[in-house]
C-alpha cells in the first residue's frame, strides 16, 4: 500500500488488500527510548476517573515527552524548549500520559483496532474543526482528508459528528489545540511501523507544511506579558483537546454498535 500525501491531497497509488483476524501480538510505547510491552486484552472498556488522576499519572512522564494523542510518547529532539513550551508540557503531562495509556489498548496490527484508532482521530478533528486557527486550517484539513481516506479504504464508514456541546474557544485556546494536534504527529513514524503493510496509512504518513520547530517558534512568539492569563488560556485549550480525545475514546469503547464489531 502506497500513498502520496500532501497538505492538499492523499492519493492511494496501490490497490489495497485488506485482511483481518485475531492477533497475539502486543502493543508497545516508546518512552525514554525504550520499548515497553503492554499485553492486549480484547474489548476492555476504560472507566475514566476524575481529574484527581493527575497526581497519580504525572510521575510517569519524563520532562522530554511531547504531546501526542497517538499511542506513543515521542521524545523531543528539538533544542531546549522555551518558557511557554515548558509550561504547556507541565500543564498537560497527566492528560498526555492518560491518553497514551488508553490508546495502548489498541493493537494496530488488527483491522478493528486500527479502525478504532482512525475513528478516534477523525472524531476529535471534526469536533475541534470550528476551533482551528487560520494558520492551521490547511494542515488540519489535510489531516482530516487523510484519515477519511484511510477509513474509506478500510471500508469503515466515517462516524457521525457527536459534538460535546461546549462553547467556542478563544484565540489563545486555539494555540493549545494546535499544540496537541501538531504534537501528535511526532509519534506518527513510530506508529507507522506498527501498522501492517496492507493497511492504508495516509494519516500516519502525512507531513504538515508547518514543522514542529516552526510551530514552537510561533507558540513562543505569541507570548505577550501585557495579556494577563495568556499562558493559562493556551494550556486550557490544550487540556480541552486532550479531554475531547479521551471522551471520544471512552465513547467508542462503550458503544456496542461500533463499525468494528467490538462489544463490551
Angle in degrees, CA 107, 50, 180, rounded to 5: 55
Any idea which of 43-47, 76-80, 182-186, 224-228 has the lowest mean pLDDT? 43-47
Question: What is the structure's pLDDT at 196?
Answer: 96
Which structural domains are found in the chain, ordered by start? 83-264 (1.20.910.10)
Residues 6+ apart with CB under 8 A from 165: none
Q: Residue ranges of the alpha helices (H) in 3-136?
A: 53-58, 83-103, 111-128
55 grid coordinates = 497526581
- Whether residue 68 has pLDDT greater than 60: no
Phi/psi class of residue 133: alpha, beta or left (left: φ > 0; alpha: ψ in -120 to 50)?
beta
pLDDT tens-digit profile of 146-199? 999 999 999 998 877 765 667 789 889 999 999 999 999 998 998 999 999 999
User: What's the CA gap between 231 and 179, in Å, rounded?
Assistant: 12
Instruction: Categorize the per-residue pLDDT at 134 as very low, low, confident or very high, splitting at 50, 70 and 90.
Output: very high
Q: Is the pLDDT of residue 260 over 90?
A: no
Q: Which of 187, 212, 31, 179 minimizes the C-alpha distance to 92?
A: 179
Give the residue carrying C-alpha cell 464508514: 157
Q: Is the per-residue pLDDT at 236 higher than 90?
A: yes
- Mean per-residue pLDDT, 218-223: 89
Report residue 69's pLDDT band, with 50, 70 and 90 as the boundaries.
very low
Of 100, 5, 117, 118, nearest to 57 by C-alpha is 100
Amino acid at each position: 500500500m502506497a500513498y502520496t500525501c500532501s497538505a492538499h491531497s492523499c492519493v492511494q497509488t496501490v490497490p489495497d488488500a485488506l485482511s483481518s483476524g485475531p492477533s497475539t501480538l502486543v502493543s508497545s510505547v516508546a518512552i525514554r527510548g525504550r520499548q515497553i510491552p503492554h499485553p492486549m486484552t480484547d474489548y476492555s472498556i476504560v472507566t475514566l476517573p476524575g481529574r484527581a488522576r493527575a497526581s497519580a499519572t504525572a510521575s510517569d512522564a519524563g520532562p522530554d515527552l511531547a504531546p501526542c494523542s497517538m499511542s506513543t510518547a515521542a521524545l523531543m529532539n528539538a533544542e531546549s524548549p522555551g518558557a511557554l513550551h515548558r509550561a504547556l508540557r507541565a500543564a498537560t503531562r497527566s492528560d498526555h500520559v492518560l491518553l497514551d495509556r488508553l490508546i495502548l489498548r489498541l493493537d494496530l496490527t488488527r483491522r478493528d483496532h486500527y479502525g478504532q484508532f482512525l475513528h478516534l482521530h477523525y472524531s476529535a478533528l471534526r469536533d475541534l474543526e470550528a476551533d482551528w486557527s487560520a494558520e492551521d486550517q490547511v494542515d488540519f484539513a489535510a489531516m482530516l482528508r487523510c484519515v477519511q481516506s484511510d477509513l474509506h479504504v478500510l471500508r469503515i464508514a466515517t462516524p457521525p459528528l457527536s459534538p460535546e456541546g461546549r462553547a467556542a474557544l478563544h484565540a489563545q485556546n486555539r494555540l493549545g489545540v494546535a499544540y496537541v494536534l501538531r504534537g501528535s504527529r511526532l509519534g506518527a513514524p513510530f506508529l507507522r511501523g506498527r501498522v501492517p503493510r496492507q493497511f492504508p496509512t495516509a494519516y500516519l504518513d502525512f507531513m504538515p507544511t508547518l514543522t514542529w520547530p516552526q510551530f514552537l517558534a510561533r507558540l513562543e512568539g505569541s507570548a505577550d506579558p501585557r495579556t494577563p492569563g495568556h499562558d493559562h488560556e493556551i494550556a486550557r485549550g490544550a487540556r480541552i483537546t486532550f479531554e475531547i480525545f479521551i471522551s471520544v475514546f471512552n465513547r467508542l469503547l462503550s458503544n456496542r454498535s461500533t463499525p468494528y464489531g467490538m462489544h463490551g
